[in-house]
Amino acid sequence: MTSEYRYQALENWLVQGIREHRWRLGERLPSIRTLCQERGLSKATVQHALQRLEAQGLVEARPKAGYFVTLPLRDTNKPLIFGRIEPPRPVTVSELFLDIMRRCAAFDLLPDLSVGKLPPGIVSLNRSIGRALRRQRGEHHQYYDAPAGVPCFREQLVSHYAKRGWAARFDQLCVTSGCQHALFLALMACCNRGDIVAIESPGFYGALQLLEQLGLQVVEVPSSIETGIDTDALEEILARWKVRACIVTPAYATPGGALMPLSAKKRLIELANVHDLAIIEDDIYADTALHGTPDPLKAMDQDERVILCSSFSKSLSRDLRLGWVSGGRWHDRILHLKLVTQLATSRYLQEGVAEYMADGSLGSHLRRQRNELRINRDHLIASLQAWPCEVRVSNPLGGLAIWAELAEHVDTLAAYLPALDRGVVITPGPLFSASGQFRNCLRISYAHPWNNARSQALASLPELLLQR
């Protein structure tokens, strides 16, 4: 038995244990001393195996505490990280893509609205907004609100983030008309025409459209469907090109619900500091967490270079059009851009939502929704596993969608129009790339309650996808 064999055997045993959920995400592995004793190994061998796991991003060393699982493993040999590094370039979004984006910004599979009951959380939200309208007095309607927004609403956001480890101040927040608006202001504030912006790949297509309209260049950073942006790839990119900003979704990134491990978030902050990068943190999915809600990257931002962008569109209502941005060193510029491009946000709306947050209604809504989303996700994954073809599916801990990877020859983009003919909307993988990657992938949403119609629509897809 060589020493190589020993550390490899231990490594395999640990990987197998993680895969079998003997140790789950966030849990501590047995201590080095315990492993030495129970497996009859030297300290050096045990340390070597653990360091190899750490290098693969599967575990994380915490000083004086031990090694913790950061990644739930998949049971295949396929690379976990998608994408490839290509030089920066201007963005051009094709007409077909725009059409797909417009449709899929609504929802996939069945675009028709379900006509069920309004969820209790939304009934109560609408009542809060109605009360705020009835409370209007005097000449308030004659005044524009301050561009930053109503203090009572921003104070509620501060309390909301305090639970996630970020001690914000209300005057670090600016209210926007949704998260896309926040991202737009953030990019306008920290970039100039022609600058290079790094984005996750696969990643959010709305970011691509923004880059196109603002005349910014894109560089795609290979990203994992489970752990998000690959910081090693980012480091390589930063060494080769002058990147101005990086848009990243640490918590449950679209398309597959990736969750960045703590170690990767630390690394990202370090890289940003070294390369003088603006980090635009898209935090919109955080409140869709199915278990605990992770802390935002912004909570680690010592250097005021993280611009946090978010809204209630994914966790509460897309019709609110209410978001926020915390701009770090770019805060004043963002405030000014908000003023110049839109003046203000409705005061009654912010007051209504502030009341909804203050009386605990948002908390109840998120708890109820969490249970529903978990059920929807499990239904969707089970249905996909019943497909009569090769399909590998992400198993996200939050977000609203899974990422399905089909056999390499499958062309999801070619299936878009034939599916549409049958009344089924699919979201092909290439939408999540500036360079047309991921043709054999699909994003599939689980935001909707599961029902027979959705189930049938999903079951009809393999025939369409495999016939070409």
How far is it, in rounded angstroms, from Cα 379 to Cα 384? 9
Please pick, from the candidates 65, 133, 162, 407, the single residue that binds a second copy as defined by CB under 8 A: 133
What are phi and psi for residue 161, nearest 5 degrees? -80, -25
136 binds a second copy (CB under 8 A): yes
Given 343, 375, 407, 417, the residue binding a second copy (CB under 8 A): 343
Alpha helices in 312-415 (DSSP H): 331-342, 347-358, 361-385
Among 114, 159, 371, 456, binds a second copy (CB under 8 A): 114
- DSSP-derived secondary structure for 216-270: -EEEEEEEETTTEE-HHHHHHHHHHS-EEEEEE-TEEETTTTEE--HHHHHHHHH
Contact between 122 and a second copy by CB under 8 A: the answer reads yes
Rg (C-alpha) for the chain, rounded Å, is 23
Q: Which of 115, 302, 408, 409 binds a second copy (CB under 8 A)?
A: 115
Question: Judged by CB under 8 A, does residue 172 bind a second copy?
Answer: no
User: At its nearest, how many Å lie between a second copy and the CB of residue 347?
Assistant: 5
How does DSSP classify residue 65? T
Report the residue number, 266 or 321, with the smaller CB distance to a second copy.
321
Nearest to 257 by CA among 228, 283, 279, 231: 228
Q: Which of 76, 77, 92, 142 binds a second copy (CB under 8 A)?
A: 142
The residue from 143, 171, 359, 468 that contacts a second copy (CB under 8 A) is 143
Interface with a second copy includes 124 (CB under 8 A)? no
Assess 318 for contact with a second copy (CB under 8 A).
Answer: yes
The span from the CA of 196 to the CA of 246, in Å, is 9
Q: Which stretch binds a second copy (CB under 8 A): 9-17, 242-250, 310-318, 370-378?
A: 310-318
DSSP letter at 109?
B
Decide whether 231 or 445 has the Cβ nearer to a second copy. 445
By C-beta, is 173 or 269 nearer to a second copy? 173
Of the two residues 210 and 234, which places its CB atom closer to a second copy in the complex? 210
Q: Which residues pair with 13 in a beta bridge?
A: none
Own/partner contacts of 23-27, CB < 8 Å, gap of 24 or more, are 23/69, 24/69, 24/72, 25/69, 25/70, 25/71, 25/72, 25/397, 26/68, 26/69, 26/70, 27/68, 27/69
- Taking CB under 8 A as the criterion, the residue among 24, 75, 113, 409 binding a second copy is 113
Does residue 367 belong to the site contacting a second copy (CB under 8 A)? no
- The HSE-up count of residue 435 (CA atoms within 13 Å, CB side) is 19
Q: Would you call 28 helix, strand, or coil by DSSP?
A: strand
Interacting residues toward a second copy by CB under 8 A = 98, 102, 105-107, 113-119, 122, 126, 129-130, 133-134, 136-146, 177-178, 180-181, 184, 188, 193, 206, 209-210, 212-213, 215, 313, 316-321, 336-337, 339-349, 447-448
